[in-house]
Each structure stands twice: as structure tokens, then as C-alpha cells.
Amino acid sequence: MPSSKGFAAQDAQSSLGPYNFSRREPLATDIVIEVLYCGVCHSDLHMARNEWGQSIYPMVPGHEIVGRVTAIGSGVKKFKVGDIAAVGVIVDSCRKCAPCKGGEEHFCAEGATLTYAQPDRVDGSITMGGYSNNYVVDERFAHKVPANLDLKAVAPLLCAGITTYSPLRHWKVGPGKKVGIVGLGGLGHMALKFAHSLGAHVVQFTTSAKKIEDAKRLGADEVVVSSNKDAMKAHTGSFDFILDCVSAPHPLDDYLPLLKQDGTLTLVGLPPESPSFGVFNLIGGRKSISGSMIGGMPETQEMLDYCGKHNIVSDVEVIRIDQINDAFERLLKQDVKYRFVIDMSTLK
């Protein structure tokens, strides 16, 4: 395997900078990908700065990868050299537990292997992510990309896309359902696009009146500024499902009263502090609070195929790799519409 190069954090305080490293030798069912684009997820920032306490350094982040297959193992059946392939948040699992056998590898009983900053199940080396020139992965954990989609805008689908598509499908969002989307950011703008495409009546909740027109452009039937108490109250008891995409602390009690009897509020954001809520807001209507994260390999491919059929991609701002530290700072200020993507051809 040729040497690899990328951008890495050396510790929790350092900026990302050039880093040379080696990947493991490909196995029979592995493919080698030349990384063309890599999305920038807010979790990359959390991990680079060890805000979740599980980081391993040096760290090459990146788990929204789109690239071209440059080599395949002797047992590979799904890809050929020259194909476009996509890789998301996980790159391996035990493959034998009930979730893995059921195509929900992200719920692996032993714990799935993350795309970066985790021991590789094959040789124990630490996985390095997509802020790099290449990647080695078993074909089971790579996905076909519909030919009609813009590759740079596909990259965030591998995290923001599947993270929002999966709960909308699981809770059967579609025609006749009233659905709320909380937050219009990297996750929220994808949730809005999917919910609209699935045929639901979609209400976008935002803290910023400046986002009203953008929300309507992306498919919202209605937009509610969440600080407007009268506007919030007008929707009391009317939602079948609310998808909460916010990663900042916020009160769930603002949204629970808006659910119908037996309605569900699902969390996909990752606030730094656990949310609190009033129990009476749950028991009064047999309501549920649930959580969801990414999706299994079959569902991720289903999502990509759905995006191809309906021409859905992320709204992106393409950056050079040497702009990544500035992009991290802009992420903290929510200064992006709505996802950064690195053009990896700028890695020299």
C-alpha cells in the first residue's frame, strides 16, 4: 500500500496540518479509494478537540467520503476500478451479532469501527479518516453513488443525509403526516429536504427569522420562529412527528406540547449537556422521546438511491484543505450554508 497523506490534529489544542502516514494492506474484499471530496461534520470538530473524551492522536478526521476506486481485492464483487464509491461514519463491525446480521451494523453489539480515531479490527492500527488522499475499506461498508448526483454535494449525505433519512423512514413519515424539523443547519436542512420529498406537511422551527426564506426554498410548508410563543402555541397538539436536529442546549418542553397523542420527538443532534423535560408533557398524551443515529449499510444505500431518484443533495460550500481550520471556527459560529466539503485535489 502506498503511503498516505492528509491533514491531522496532533493533540486537542493543535490546528490541523499536513501529516504523512501508512494505511493497512488491503485484503481480498477491500477496495482502495482515491478521495475526491470529504464533508466536514461538526463531530470532526468535537473529536479533533477531544470534547467527547475519546480521541486518539494523531487524528485525521473525516467520515463523509466520496472517491474513485483505484484498486480492488480478489474477492470484491460490488465495485470495479474506476467506480465512484462513498464511505460514511463506520467502516467495520463484528458482522455476526443480531444487528449486524439484520443490516444495522451501526448498532453492532460489540461496537462498530469508526472511520477514524479507532482501532482497526484487522490489524489494530488506528483508523485515519477522509481528510486524506486515499482510504482502504471492505466493500460491505462502501456504497454506490448514483451517476446523476453532484459528487461534492453527495459527501454530506454519508452522515447528515443518513442521520436524518433513517428516523424519517423508521417513523413512517409521508403523506398525511405533519412533521416538525427543529434547527436549520447541516442536519436540519437535509431533514427538511427529505420530509418534503416524502410528502409530509413540514414545519421548520428556527431561532433565526433570517432563515425563513431559506427554509421555504428548501421545502418548508410553514416556518415558525421558536422564540415566538404565540406562533408555537398555535401548533399545540398537532404534530405526528418532530425531528430535533439541534446540537446546542435547548428545552424539549418547548416542543413536547406540540405533539399529538402518541406523537414522537426524535433527537439526532448531540448537545453537550443532556436535555431535560417535564414528565407531565409526556404522560399527558402518551408521547415519546426517542433517539436515532446514522443507519445501517442497506439503509444508507437505499438513501443514496432515493437521492438519485429525487435529485436530492446537500447545500455545500467547497473549501481547500488548507482552509479547514478556518472552517472549524466558522462552524462554531454557524457560518455555513449548510455543509463544508473539502476538495481533496487541493491536498498537495
Q: What percent of the chain has pLDDT over 70?
A: 99
Q: Report angle CA 222, 227, 233 to the nearest 5 degrees.
A: 65
pLDDT digits (tens, 9 = 90+) for 331-348: 999 899 999 999 999 998
Q: Name beta bridge partners: 25.
A: none
Phi, psi of 184 (to 5 degrees): -120, 75
Q: Would you place residue 1 in the very low, low, confident or very high pLDDT band (cuts 50, 70, 90)?
A: low
Q: Report angle CA 63, 172, 249 to the nearest 5 degrees.
A: 55
CATH superfamily of 161-291: NAD(P)-binding Rossmann-like Domain (3.40.50.720)
* Helix ranges, 174-316 (H): 186-197, 212-217, 229-233, 280-283, 297-310
Specify the domain boundaries for CATH 3.90.180.10 within the chain: 4-159+314-346
- E-strand spans in 88-212? 90-92, 113-114, 134-138, 142-144, 178-182, 201-206
Given a contact cutoff of 8 angstroms between Cβ atoms, the answer to whether 195 and 202 are in contact is yes
| Span 4-159+314-346 CATH architecture | Alpha-Beta Complex (3.90)
Cβ neighbours, 10 Å, residue 116 = 27
Q: Which three cell numbers stand for residue 4?
A: 498516505
What is the mean pLDDT of the segment spanning 163-178? 98
The span from the CA of 321 to the CA of 145, in Å, is: 23
Q: Which three cell numbers stand for residue 340?
A: 463544508
pTM recorded for the entire structure? 0.95
- DSSP annotation of 146 reads -
The span from the CA of 215 to the CA of 200, in Å, is: 15
**Backbone angle region of 203, left / alpha / beta, with phi > 0 → left and psi within -120 to 50 → alpha:** beta
- DSSP annotation of 9 reads B
Q: What pLDDT does residue 270 have?
A: 86
pLDDT digits (tens, 9 = 90+) for 281-308: 999 999 999 999 999 999 999 999 999 9
pLDDT digits (tens, 9 = 90+) for 7-51: 999 999 999 999 999 999 999 999 999 999 999 999 999 999 999
What is the mean pLDDT of the segment spanning 147-162? 98
Given a contact cutoff of 8 angstroms between Cβ atoms, the answer to whether 57 and 10 are in contact is yes
Q: What pLDDT does residue 2 have?
A: 60
Q: What is the residue type of 77?
A: K
Q: What pLDDT does residue 348 have?
A: 85
| Alpha-carbon 225 to chain mean position | 25
Given a contact cutoff of 8 angstroms between Cβ atoms, the answer to whether 36 and 345 are in contact is yes
The span from the CA of 322 to the CA of 8, in Å, is: 11
- DSSP annotation of 105 reads G
Q: What is the residue type of 169?
A: R
The mean pLDDT of the chain is 96
Phi, psi of 84 (to 5 degrees): -90, 135
Radius of gyration of the chain (CA): 20
Specify the domain boundaries for CATH 3.40.50.720 within the chain: 161-291
pLDDT digits (tens, 9 = 90+) for 214-266: 999 999 999 999 999 999 999 999 999 999 999 888 999 999 999 999 999 99
Given a contact cutoff of 8 angstroms between Cβ atoms, the answer to whether 130 and 89 are in contact is no
The span from the CA of 346 to the CA of 215, in Å, is: 32
* Helix ranges, the chain (H): 42-48, 98-101, 151-154, 160-170, 186-197, 212-217, 229-233, 280-283, 297-310, 324-332
pLDDT digits (tens, 9 = 90+) for 43-78: 999 999 999 999 999 999 999 999 999 999 999 999
The span from the CA of 304 to the CA of 129, in Å, is: 21
Q: What pLDDT does residue 6 have?
A: 98
Q: What pLDDT does residue 273 have?
A: 82
Q: Would you place residue 166 in the very low, low, confident or very high pLDDT band (cuts 50, 70, 90)?
A: very high
Phi, psi of 331 (to 5 degrees): -60, -40
What is the mean pLDDT of the segment spanning 119-129? 96
